[in-house]
């Protein structure tokens, strides 16, 4: 394991390397115990670099077995090799020369899952961000672009399949039961996009013909027996390829595109050129084993990795500080793809819920960082919601500011100007400035300044003058190492909603630039005055969540209820009801802490019930509207001195109040939504199931009985309904015979399918009860739990730490100790996953004092361990700072 040196990397220290590596030839003699890697690098000295300047290549835990320079074995004093570095003090003075480097790896012992490793007998690689240096010595940085030729040799019986990037060139037999294949990728690429897969896998094949007529052979590789579960992934891939042509004019550029599912993977998937490698969770799906959410995630992630081919691969990052250049932009593209394939408003609401649940707490806590950070200690810790999700919101705002046409012109210019290059956020923003003629200097602060901006709003109508004035005040709270903030350019989409629900016209506006339904906030304070407004409007602001901010203002309950019923912007309708729920839960939490029973306004409860029954709205939207804010949403609004038990009690009380009031309506709706058609994973079917399953929880609470959920569990013909029923049983009726029987039936049915059993772990780990801590310790002993498999760890411990506020924050600190023990156990073999799990502690300062002290103690205990990995030391120290 690479331990921490404390070194900090800074953006301002970037400088070009002295040498380039235009060509790379790799030969892998694969063996799980001892693989030999021969690398022939063509090295080129840059202009203006003195001949003979020292060449220093990166390594990570490498063993050098031989080195030749210009074909001649290197003398022992000609170089210095450590596991971390290969230094050639006086390389040849020629402009170009070759290095032959041989290293030896032990892939079967690699549990960090970076570099070359073995997952279920399949050899595979993961090189982003700095995994290539675990394979061979290299200038392992994204601005070194090389053309790769890769030869793979392996035992034919155990590895009939040999894949790498680019196009296949040659294959054949070798002696001793071995064989080989050669791949060539003509597109120069950074080392983090290198990939290799070798093993015995089943395949689904298809083809795609690009707009300009190139026929591409497609393959989705999965474990034998899982081929039918790969059909949806293949379909999503073809839809992604077509969509990128139609929406962005981007075509695929090789003769083959292969996608491989592996069962041990640190993240979701990886966009290696022409050979995407996936966590099998984001490939395998059928009605019996995958939920609608799984299908939607598969579509999104298949799209995401495919879209990287242009945003990430053809145009890549100059350095890792620019990570959002590829990630924020590609998330924006996958969001647009899903919005076009499904319901745009429903997709937008889901995105915002995700952003608030994951990115807001990051931006408001000790790990806050700008979308483009200026410093890091371990780059693996910057694959964050801020870089990905807020990065996507920033691109979305560019589109809002420029409009669709100028945005597309900016994207076209970016592709044209930078194809084949490694570039920066400045280059990206400049393309939009040049294509649109607009100045985005103030806007670019969104990339550079951390923290969630806050906008306070108040408004008044003057009936005599027929004018409407909005007072807007922006502020950005301080974040670690950035105490003073500059004023941002915040695009606020808005409408002045009249009594008939239509947006009202106005004559003139002063006090801010207002264009196409957007107020451009650029100063600390704007007083925006509209004239010619015939009657008092209701203000609908930040429509579509046009800016990722927090908002405050004294909107009356009546106005919010009005917007929930009438706003033409569906996001705003959802938001209005959601804000009312949040306010009710905040008040109820205070009541509970004061020792009283919470009460809820009947108009709010009735609004929820009537929305459920409103069949002019799509079911998926109604499901979202009826879903109460989660316990962490309420905690975030409270902000300080949080008591998770009180929040839990308040939320259950509101669920029950709605359940009791709506029970007759919900029962009829629940029955009416059921059809006997076979399962299809399309958005419409998913929407009906989503609504039905939200209703199921209300029905179970109204009945105070496990019967409705048990009935659904027993009769379900798909995983969405089965898992939803099991969740209701486990969360609300844990002590009953029905729940025990259902859990046992699920476990028995999927005993041979670890991926599906993850749902069983997940459901139990998320039960919001203090007893869950003890249950967790026994689930960790389950024969199917494995600390070396990241999916198992995330399903059980990740869900507990990040998805079960009440149990994780048990007042006695037992939840914290459970997670800390796991973090330390993981740390020994997989620092990346350990560090990510440790981020669960990031909001510790906002808890009430008892829990805060427990959390600090546990964190300090981790920090005291010797030889922590760079990954974990970085997270723990920043969290405690």
Catalytically annotated residues: 305
Q: Which does 384 bind (CB under 5 to 8 A by kind): Zn ion, ligand 0A1, none?
A: none
Q: Which is nearer to Zn ion, 248 or 562 (CB)?
A: 248
What is the closest distance, in whole angstroms, from the C-beta atom of residue 128 to Zn ion in the complex?
A: 9
Q: Which does 467 bind (CB under 5 to 8 A by kind): ligand 0A1, Zn ion, none?
A: none
Site of tokens 């402009």: 95
CA distance 562 to 484: 39
Q: What angle do CA 597, 599, 601 make, to 5 degrees?
A: 175
Torsion of CA 130, 827, 800, 635, to 10 degrees: -70
Q: What DSSP character marks residue 370?
A: -
The string of DSSP letters for 390-446 reads: IHHHHHHHHHHHH-HHHHHHHHHHHHHHHTT-EE-HHHHHHHHHHHH----TTTTHH
Q: What DSSP character marks residue 577?
A: H
What is the closest distance, in whole angstroms, from the C-beta atom of residue 26 to ligand 0A1 in the complex?
A: 20
Q: Which does 383 bind (CB under 5 to 8 A by kind): Zn ion, ligand 0A1, none?
A: ligand 0A1
| Angle, helix 683-703 to helix 619-626, in steps of 10 degrees | 40
Interacting residues with ligand 0A1 between 128 and 157 (CB under 6 A): 128
What is the closest distance, in whole angstroms, from the C-beta atom of residue 267 to ligand 0A1 in the complex?
A: 4
Q: Which does 83 bind (CB under 5 to 8 A by kind): Zn ion, ligand 0A1, none?
A: none
Spatial CA neighbour of 542 closest among 448, 621, 456: 456
Q: According to CB under 6 A, which one of 39, 154, 162, 267 is a site residue for ligand 0A1?
A: 267
Spatial CA neighbour of 632 closest among 849, 294, 360: 360
Q: Which does 631 bind (CB under 5 to 8 A by kind): ligand 0A1, Zn ion, none?
A: none
Q: Which is nearer to Zn ion, 149 or 330 (CB)?
A: 330
C-beta separation of 84 from 116 below 8 A:
no
The string of DSSP letters for 175-242 reads: STTEEEEEEEEEEEE-GGG--EEEE--EEEEEEEE-TT--EEEEEEEE-TT-GGGGHHHHHHHHHHHH
The binding track of 213-252 with respect to ligand 0A1, each residue x by CB under 6 A or -, is ----------------------------------------
C-beta separation of 376 from 873 below 8 A:
no
What is the closest distance, in whole angstroms, from the C-beta atom of residue 256 to Zn ion in the complex?
A: 21
Q: Which stretch binds ligand 0A1 (CB under 6 A): 252-260, 267-275, 810-818, 823-831?
A: 267-275
CA distance 833 to 835: 5
C-beta separation of 334 from 328 below 8 A:
no
CA distance 315 to 858: 43
Q: According to CB under 6 A, which one of 100, 264, 327, 633 is a site residue for ligand 0A1?
A: 327
Q: Which stretch binds ligand 0A1 (CB under 6 A): 30-38, 76-84, 269-277, 461-469?
A: 269-277
Q: Does 271 help bind ligand 0A1 (rule: CB under 6 A)?
A: yes
The binding track of 290-319 with respect to ligand 0A1, each residue x by CB under 6 A or -, is --------------xx--------------
Q: Does 270 help bind ligand 0A1 (rule: CB under 6 A)?
A: yes
What is the closest distance, in whole angstroms, from the C-beta atom of residue 440 to ligand 0A1 in the complex?
A: 25
Instruction: For 81-135, give the secondary structure using H, E and C.
Output: EECCEEEECCCCCCCEEEEEEEEEECHHHCCCCCEEEEECCEEEEECCCCCHHHC
Q: Which does 299 bind (CB under 5 to 8 A by kind): ligand 0A1, Zn ion, none?
A: none
What is the closest distance, in whole angstroms, from the C-beta atom of residue 573 to ligand 0A1 in the complex?
A: 32
| Residues at the contact surface with Zn ion, assessed by CB under 5 A | 327, 330
C-beta separation of 167 from 184 below 8 A:
yes
Q: Which is nearer to ligand 0A1, 153 or 327 (CB)?
A: 327
Q: Which is nearer to Zn ion, 332 or 679 (CB)?
A: 332
The binding track of 98-127 with respect to ligand 0A1, each residue x by CB under 6 A or -, is ----------------------------x-
Q: Which is nearer to ligand 0A1, 388 or 679 (CB)?
A: 388
CA distance 221 to 258: 8
Backbone φ and ψ of 718, nearest 5°:
-155, 160
Q: Which is nearer to Zn ion, 385 or 549 (CB)?
A: 385
Q: According to CB under 6 A, which one of 266, 359, 718, 839 is a site residue for ligand 0A1?
A: 266
What is the closest distance, in whole angstroms, from the C-beta atom of residue 324 to Zn ion in the complex?
A: 10
Q: Which does 201 bind (CB under 5 to 8 A by kind): Zn ion, ligand 0A1, none?
A: none
Q: Does 634 help bind ligand 0A1 (rule: CB under 6 A)?
A: no
Q: Which is nearer to Zn ion, 386 or 579 (CB)?
A: 386
Q: Which does 334 bind (CB under 5 to 8 A by kind): ligand 0A1, Zn ion, none?
A: none
Q: Which does 553 bind (CB under 5 to 8 A by kind): Zn ion, ligand 0A1, none?
A: none
If binding means CB under 6 A, how many residues of this protein chain bind ligand 0A1? 12
Express the helix, strand and coil content of the chain in percent, nearest 5 each: 45, 20, 35
CA distance 700 to 785: 31
Q: According to CB under 6 A, which one of 99, 269, 422, 577 is a site residue for ligand 0A1?
A: 269
Q: Which does 202 bind (CB under 5 to 8 A by kind): ligand 0A1, Zn ion, none?
A: none
Q: Which is nearer to ligand 0A1, 25 or 351 (CB)?
A: 351
Radius of gyration of the chain (CA): 28
Structure tokens that stand for 199 in this block: 């093993």
CA distance 844 to 865: 20
Q: Which is nearer to ligand 0A1, 271 or 738 (CB)?
A: 271
CA distance 795 to 803: 10
Q: Which is nearer to ligand 0A1, 128 or 292 (CB)?
A: 128
What is the closest distance, in whole angstroms, from the C-beta atom of residue 376 to ligand 0A1 in the complex?
A: 14
Q: Which does 604 bind (CB under 5 to 8 A by kind): Zn ion, ligand 0A1, none?
A: none
The helix or strand, by DSSP H or E, that contains position 490, with its residue range, turns out to be strand 490-497
What is the closest distance, in whole angstroms, from the C-beta atom of residue 266 to ligand 0A1 in the complex?
A: 4
What is the closest distance, in whole angstroms, from the C-beta atom of residue 311 to Zn ion in the complex?
A: 9
Q: Which is nearer to ligand 0A1, 271 or 299 (CB)?
A: 271
Spatial CA neighbour of 329 closest among 349, 307, 345: 307
Q: Which does 128 bind (CB under 5 to 8 A by kind): ligand 0A1, Zn ion, none?
A: ligand 0A1
CA distance 74 to 137: 15
C-beta separation of 40 from 110 below 8 A:
no
Q: Which stretch binds ligand 0A1 (CB under 6 A): 264-272, 442-450, 669-677, 870-878?
A: 264-272
How far is residue 174 from each of residues 29, 55, 152, 153, 181, measured CA to CA in Å? 12, 36, 11, 8, 10
Q: Which is nearer to ligand 0A1, 316 or 474 (CB)?
A: 316
C-beta separation of 104 from 35 below 8 A:
yes
Q: Which stretch binds ligand 0A1 (CB under 6 A): 262-270, 707-715, 804-812, 821-829?
A: 262-270
What is the closest distance, in whole angstroms, from the C-beta atom of residue 126 to ligand 0A1 in the complex?
A: 5
What is the closest distance, in whole angstroms, from the C-beta atom of residue 383 to ligand 0A1 in the complex?
A: 5
For 269, the 3-state DSSP assignment is strand
CA distance 267 to 610: 41
Q: Which is nearer to ligand 0A1, 575 or 832 (CB)?
A: 832
Structure tokens that stand for 811 in this block: 């007042």
Task: Using CB under 6 A, list all residues that contact ligand 0A1.
Answer: 126, 128, 266-271, 304-305, 327, 383
């Amino acid at each position: 394991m690479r331990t921490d040196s404390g070194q900090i990397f800074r953006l301002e220290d970037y400088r070009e390397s002295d040498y380039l590596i235009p060509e790379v030839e790799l030969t892998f003699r694969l063996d799980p115990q001892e693989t030999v890697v021969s690398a022939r690098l063509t090295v080129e000295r840059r202009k203006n670099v003195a001949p003979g300047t020292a060449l220093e290549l990166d390594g990570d835990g490498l063993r050098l077995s031989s080195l030749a320079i210009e074909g001649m074995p290197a003398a022992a004093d000609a170089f210095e090799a450590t596991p971390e570095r290969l230094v050639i003090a006086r390389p040849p003075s020629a402009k170009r020369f070759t290095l032959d480097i041989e290293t030896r790896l032990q892939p079967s012992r690699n549990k960090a899952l970076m570099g070359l490793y073995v997952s279920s007998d399949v050899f595979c690689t993961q090189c982003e961000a700095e995994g290539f240096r675990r394979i061979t010595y290299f200038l392992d940085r994204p601005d070194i672009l090389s053309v790769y030729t890769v030869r793979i040799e392996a035992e034919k019986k155990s590895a009939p399949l040999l894949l790498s990037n680019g196009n296949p060139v040659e294959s054949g037999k070798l002696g001793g039961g071995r064989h080989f294949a050669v791949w060539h990728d003509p597109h120069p690429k950074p080392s983090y996009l290198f990939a290799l897969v070798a093993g015995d896998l089943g395949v689904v094949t298809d083809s795609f013909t690009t707009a300009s007529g190139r026929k591409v052979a497609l393959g989705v590789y999965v474990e034998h027996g899982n081929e039918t579960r790969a059909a949806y992934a293949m379909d999503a891939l073809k839809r992604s390829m077509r969509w990128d042509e139609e929406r962005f004019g981007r075509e695929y550029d090789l003769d083959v595109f292969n996608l491989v599912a592996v069962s041990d993977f640190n993240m979701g998937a990886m966009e290696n050129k022409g050979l995407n490698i996936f966590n099998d969770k984001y490939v395998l799906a059928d009605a019996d084993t995958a939920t609608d959410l799984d299908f939607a995630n598969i579509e999104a992630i298949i799209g995401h990795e495919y879209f990287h081919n242009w945003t990430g691969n053809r145009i890549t990052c100059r350095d890792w500080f620019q990570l959002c250049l590829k990630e924020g932009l590609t998330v924006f593209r996958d969001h647009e793809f899903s919005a076009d394939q499904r319901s745009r408003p429903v997709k937008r609401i889901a995105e915002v819920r995700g952003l608030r649940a994951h990115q807001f707490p990051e931006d408001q806590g000790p790990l806050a960082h700008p979308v483009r950070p200026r410093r890091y200690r371990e780059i693996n810790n910057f694959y964050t919601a801020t870089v990905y999700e807020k990065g996507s919101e920033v691109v979305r705002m560019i589109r809002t500011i420029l409009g669709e046409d100028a945005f597309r012109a900016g994207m076209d210019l970016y592709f044209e100007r930078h194809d084949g290059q490694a570039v920066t956020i400045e280059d990206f923003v400049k393309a939009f400035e040049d294509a649109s003629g607009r100045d985005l200097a103030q806007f670019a602060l969104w990339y550079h300044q951390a923290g969630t901006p806050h906008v306070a709003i108040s408004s008044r109508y003057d009936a005599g003058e027929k004018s409407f004035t909005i007072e807007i005040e922006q502020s950005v709270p301080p974040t670690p190492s950035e105490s003073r903030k500059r004023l941002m350019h915040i695009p606020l989409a808005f409408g002045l909603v009249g009594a008939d629900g239509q947006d009202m016209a106005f004559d003139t506006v002063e006090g801010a630039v207002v264009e196409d339904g957007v107020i451009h906030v650029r100063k600390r304070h704007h007083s925006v005055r509209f004239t010619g407004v015939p009657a008092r409007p209701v203000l609908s602001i930040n429509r579509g969540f046009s800016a990722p901010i927090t908002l405050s203002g004294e909107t009356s309950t009546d106005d919010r209820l009005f917007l929930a019923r009438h706003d033409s912007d569906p996001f705003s309708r959802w938001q209005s009801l959601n804000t009312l729920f949040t306010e009710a839960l905040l008040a109820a939490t205070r009541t509970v802490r004061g020792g009283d029973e919470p009460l809820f306004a009947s108009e709010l409860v009735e609004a929820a019930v009537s929305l459920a029954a409103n069949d002019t709205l799509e079911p998926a939207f109604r499901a979202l509207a009826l879903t109460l804010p989660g316990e962490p949403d309420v905690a975030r609004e409270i902000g300080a001195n949080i008591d998770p038990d009180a929040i839990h009690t308040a939320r259950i009380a509101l669920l029950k109040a709605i359940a009791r009031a709506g029970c007759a309506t919900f029962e009829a709706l629940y029955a009416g939504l059921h059809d006997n058609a076979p399962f299809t994973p399309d958005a419409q079917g998913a929407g009906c199931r989503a609504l039905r399953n939200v209703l199921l929880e209300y029905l179970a609470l109204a009945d105070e009985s496990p019967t409705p959920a048990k009935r659904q569990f027993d009769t379900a013909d798909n995983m969405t309904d089965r898992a939803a029923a099991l969740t209701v049983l486990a969360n609300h009726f844990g002590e009953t015979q029905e729940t025990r029987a259902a859990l046992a039936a699920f476990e028995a049915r999927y005993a041979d399918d670890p991926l599906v059993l993850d749902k069983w772990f997940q459901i139990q780990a998320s039960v919001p009860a203090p007893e869950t801590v003890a249950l967790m310790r026994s689930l960790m002993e389950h024969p199917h739990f494995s600390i070396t498999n990241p999916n198992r760890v995330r399903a059980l411990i990740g869900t507990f730490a990040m998805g079960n506020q009440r149990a994780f924050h048990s007042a006695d600190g037992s939840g914290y100790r459970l997670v800390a023990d796991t973090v330390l156990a993981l740390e020994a073999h997989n620092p990346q996953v350990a560090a990510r799990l440790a981020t669960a502690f990031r909001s510790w300062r906002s808890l009430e004092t008892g829990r805060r002290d427990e959390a600090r103690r546990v964190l300090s205990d981790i920090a005291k361990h010797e030889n922590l990995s760079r990954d974990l030391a970085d997270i723990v120290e920043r969290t405690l700072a």
